[in-house]
Structure formats: C-alpha cells, structure tokens
Amino acid sequence: MRILVVEDDRDLNRQLVSALEEASYVVDSASDGEEGHFLGDTEPYDAVILDVGLPELDGISVLEKWRRGGRSMPVLLLTARDRWSDKVAGIDAGADDYVAKPFHMEEVLARLRALIRRAAGHSSAEIEIGKVLLDTRQSRVFMDGTPVKLTSHEFRLLSYLMHHKGEIVSRTELIEHLYDQDFDKDSNTIEVFVGRLRKKLHSDVIETVRGLGYRV
C-alpha cells in the first residue's frame, strides 16, 4: 500500500514515515499544504495522513480541494487535541477519521489499517482467500494455518491483491501502489514476485488474466 504523509513538523514527519515503512508501506511525504495537495492530486495513494495546521495551504483546504477534484482516497486527519472545531471541519470536508496530537503511533497505524480495509470493502483485520490468510494487524501471511515467510515486497504485492480480491489488478496499478516514484516501470519485477509467491504459497490463488493483470 502506498501512503502519503503531509506534516510540517519535520521530526514527526520522519517518525511517521519510519513507522509506516517498518509496517511494510511505501511512503511519500510532504511538509506543506501546496506540495501535499499536488502529490495527492497527481499520484495514486491508498490513504493519506494529513495534518490540519500546515504552511502555504492548511489541511482542511487541501482536503476540500481533493474532494472537489474527485479524489476519494481515505484521509486520516491529524488535529490539535483542544481544537474540536478542526475535527468537525475536517469531517465535514471529507476526512474519514482523525487522531488528536499527541498520539501513540500504534493508534495511527491501527486507524490507517482500518481505513484501508474499509475502503476495499473488508471489515475484519484478517482477509482469507482459500487456504491463504492475511493478518493485517501483524503483517503476516498463513497458508493452511502455517506461517509463510515473505520478503517485504512479496508481502506488499500479496496484500494489495488480497485487499482487492475478485478484481483484476493491472501490472501498472501494482507498480504505482507498491513502489515509489523513481521505480523503473518497465521492470519485470512484478512477474518475478508473482512467481515467487506462487511457489511459497504452493497455490494458484494468484490468477494471471492474460493481457490485463492479476486477480486473487
């Protein structure tokens, strides 16, 4: 999953990026509202963590512009604890959830996981397809009850497909959501990882739809 963090506090920005990367997300970040709006308007994100008090363009205005422009990705708003008006304005502007500062990083990660699951139509923290089970809380995969050891890239690929089960996901979409902006889009890495996953899972749960992409 690819996440955008828009936070002007550099230390907090780095902490959020680090925690998200450790949780197997691909992360882009911005430190002001104008840059954040541009990235959210031009890049495909699975979710956004957006601070309200941003320079150049405040978070509520950024969110309103995204929603007016048809951008529907889940947005988790970061607000000051004593500013209830920011929370109300954020929800009215189209925020999906909010966390008040200061916060525990585990709460941010849990709320983010929930937003991504709900956006994909899943209510449970565990997604199961056949004998394959994805535990989104622990970032672990099980095959017929047995843990499967995956690399971070293999996990990201399988997680994205399982969040979108039943849908045909193109190679281009996978690249856009699993890698940063500098990734070589002509690379055959996706095909390599799909092959590895099929061997590790001992399963044909990942189907190749010729000329279109992959589906689980």
Same domain, yes or no: 90 and 167? no
Q: Which of 99, 119, 139 is the last residue of a domain?
A: 119
Euclidean distance between CA atoms 43 and 4, whole angstroms:
9
Same domain, yes or no: 77 and 35? yes
Q: Which of 88, 119, 150 is the last residue of a domain?
A: 119
Specify the DSSP class assigned to residue 83. -
Same domain, yes or no: 112 and 131? no
CATH number, residue 181: 1.10.10.10
Q: Which of 87, 119, 151 is the last residue of a domain?
A: 119
Same domain, yes or no: 21 and 115? yes
DSSP one-letter string for 169-194: B-HHHHHHHHS-TTS-TT--HHHHHH
Pairing of strands 140-143, 213-215: unpaired
Calculate mean pLDDT across residues 26-55: 96
Residue 16 CB burial class (10 angstroms; 0-12, 13-18, ≥19): buried
Q: Which helix (H) or strand (E) holds 132?
A: strand 132-135
What's the pLDDT at 189?
A: 84
| pLDDT tens digits, 199-211 | 999 878 899 998 8
Q: Specify the residue for token string 């889009």.
A: 185
pLDDT band at 85 (very low <50, low <70, confident <90, very high): confident
pLDDT at 184 over 80: no
What's the pLDDT at 153?
A: 86
Domain residues for the domain of 169 are 126-215
Calculate mean pLDDT across residues 93-104: 93
